Structure 1
């Protein structure tokens, strides 16, 4: 039996945070860069990322000695769950940037740990690293464009 459905179900937790803490008028009113993706793209991007990271974890779960790799996978999912609540829920732009930076490090560590077990699993984490880089740049840009908002 494949473990993919289990890991995909775990991804429902950060996905639920994204549903619970929506952008709303606060986010719409922020000064954002021209390269901000349209809101409708975010669920599509996250769906693809959740599938890829779940497939990657399911592959590594079948390998011996996977404890560190799967522990890091769990850490990055936990950190990911925090961002929507902090950024959209609490309106803490600076804290959101810190969380994304920590998330990026956790995803990189996960990908490197996965590489020790399965190169395809590691490669499946690369889009998440790319998205994390973009998201961090976007978060920092929003923070700089809105210096009086969201870093109390």
Structure 2
């Protein structure tokens, strides 16, 4: 792992995180019915900061390994999907489309973990908190969709 590679992956992660600054949850989200397992508000920036850091470290570790092309393609796909979810869900308030994006992201991250495992199992382990958080986030997205009919787009 080189410092330059780590900085590139952190920069991409920061770009994804910026959508959370641009498209804030706000009053619309606060008014939605949410399940009891909804994490407290403070947990979201803490979790995402850790996930972005771990993901960048994992990617920087595998980037120089032979055969890393597919793993890095999956990393690129997940960061693009990650960047997309926030404006879809919070910006456009398209809860169902957000569900499609987050499920696609979940499958992509699971595939990325497998690809990373084949190259460097330690890097793959760094991605497990991401997968766990996405399971919670997907469950939250689904319950909001289910429990708030007609809330999309308002």
Q: Sort the TM-score into its range (normalised by shorter chain).
A: over 0.9
Paired position in structure 2 for 1:7 = 9
Paired position in structure 1 for 2:27 = 25
Instruction: State the alpha-carbon separation in 2 of the partners of residues 82 and 21 from structure 1.
Output: 11
Aligned residues of 1:95 and 1:151 also touching (Cα < 8 A):
no
Paired position in structure 1 for 2:72 = 70
Equivalent positions of 1:101-112 (< 5 A) are: 101-112=103-114
Instruction: State the alpha-carbon separation in 2 of the partners of residues 150 and 120 from structure 1.
Output: 40
Paired position in structure 2 for 1:58 = 60
* Residues 1:100 and 2:122 aligned together: no
Aligned residues of 1:94 and 1:151 also touching (Cα < 8 A):
no
Unmatched runs of 5 consecutive residues or more in structure 2: none
Q: CA RMSD of the aligned region, Å?
A: 1.2
Runs of 4+ in 1 over 3 A off after TM superposition: none
Instruction: State the alpha-carbon separation in 1 of the partners of residues 22 and 133 from structure 2.
Output: 21
Aligned residues of 1:21 and 1:85 also touching (Cα < 8 A):
yes
Shift of 1:46: 0.2
- Scaled by the length of structure 2, the TM-score of the pair is 0.95
Shift of 1:151: 6.9
Equivalent pairs, count:
152
Deviates more, 1:24-33 or 1:34-43: 34-43
Instruction: State the alpha-carbon separation in 2 of the partners of residues 38 and 65 from structure 1.
Output: 40
Unmatched runs of 5 consecutive residues or more in structure 1: none
Instruction: State the alpha-carbon separation in 2 of the partners of residues 37 and 119 from structure 1.
Output: 29
